[in-house]
Amino acid sequence: MSFKIISLIAATVLVAACATEPEDSGAASGQGSSSSASSSGSASNSVGSKQAMQNTQPNAPTPGSIEDLVVNVGDRVFFSFNKSDIQPDAADTLNRQAAWLKKFPNHMIVVEGHCDERGTREYNLALGERRANSVREYLISVGVAANRIATISYGKERPAVLGANDASWSQNRRGVTIVKNAGS
């Protein structure tokens, strides 16, 4: 399955990124530069988070912070082309997110649904909504209160990775969990 291969590539990219820019993954507070670190969140999470933790040991993310979610839990899951079902590796990530959200019961989250650019704008808005809702439904099914989870679809408007190729597109078909009120 091509998805696994893509995940491995993502992990490789992550390692390279951490090796050259160790401060970036720890210091990033928003999406921006943290996207490559967190892109490993689903499939290759164990590799990714260990790598990230080793590199950011001196100032590890504050528990409960957005960086904590991005680095130690994984803030995003990936979808197959034109699909919105939660795959096994995505479920692993969402299980960790649910556990994390139980530890920080005041956190409210927004799940962003995103698509690759290989669809039309309006269809992708609908597909992104469906993906965000899939993540939401899964989190509810593993015990996160429904009223803590909002959703928003960005369709193909906010790619995480540039490049007109399958590896980039697979990184953009994603559901990203954002903490609205993460204190430090």
Partner 1 sequence: MRKFSDKKSVATILRRVLKSAMALAVGAGLSLAIPAQAEVRIDITRGTVKALPIAVTHFHGLVGPEIDVGRNIAGVVSADLERSGLFRPLDKRAFIQTAASLRVRPRFSDWRVINAQALVQGNVKLQQDGRLRVEFRLWDVFSEAQMTGLAYFTEPSNWRRVAHIISDAIYKRVTGESGYFDTRIVFVAESGPLKRRIKRLAIMDQDGANHRYLTDGSNLVLTPRFSPTLQEITYLSYFNDEPRVYLFDIESGRQELLGGFRGMTFAPRFAADGKSVLMSFAKRGNSDVWRMDLSTRTATQLTRHSAIDTSPSPSPDGKQIAFNSDRGGSPQLYVMDHNGSNVRRISFARGRYSTPVWSPRGDLIAFTKQTGGKFHIGVMRPDGSGERILTESFLDEAPSWAPNGRIIMFFRQTPTDTKGKGGTTRLYSIDLTGHNLREVITPGDASDPAWSPLIP
Of residues 50 and 121, the one with the C-beta less far from partner 1: 121
Q: Cα 147 from chain centroid?
A: 21
For partner 1, give the closer residue by CB, 75 or 129. 129
Please, what is the minimum distance in Å from the beta carbon of residue 167 to partner 1? 9
Instruction: Determine the Cα–Cα distance for residues 136 and 85; give it in Å rounded to an integer.
Output: 12
Helix or strand run (H / E) with residue 10:
helix 2-20
Q: Which is nearer to partner 1, 56 or 169 (CB)?
A: 169
- Closest CB 66 distance from partner 1, rounded Å: 16
Give Dmax over CA atoms of the chain in angstroms. 45
What's the gap between Cα 136 and its chain centre? 13
**What's the closest the beta carbon of residue 33 comes to partner 1, in angstroms?**
11
Question: At its nearest, how many Å lie between partner 1 and the CB of residue 111?
Answer: 10
Sites of contact with partner 1 (CB under 8 A):
82, 84, 110, 117-123, 125-127, 129-130, 132-134, 136-137, 151-153, 157-165, 168
Q: H helices within 21-144, ranges in order?
A: 22-27, 35-38, 45-55, 66-68, 88-103, 121-141
Report the residue number, 65 or 133, with the smaller CB distance to partner 1: 133
Token pair 């969990």 is found at 177
Question: Minimum Å distance from CB 161 to partner 1?
Answer: 8
In the bound state with partner 1, the residue whose beta carbon lies nearer, of 72 and 111, is 111
Burial of 105: CB neighbours in 10 Å, binned 0-12, 13-18, 19+ = exposed
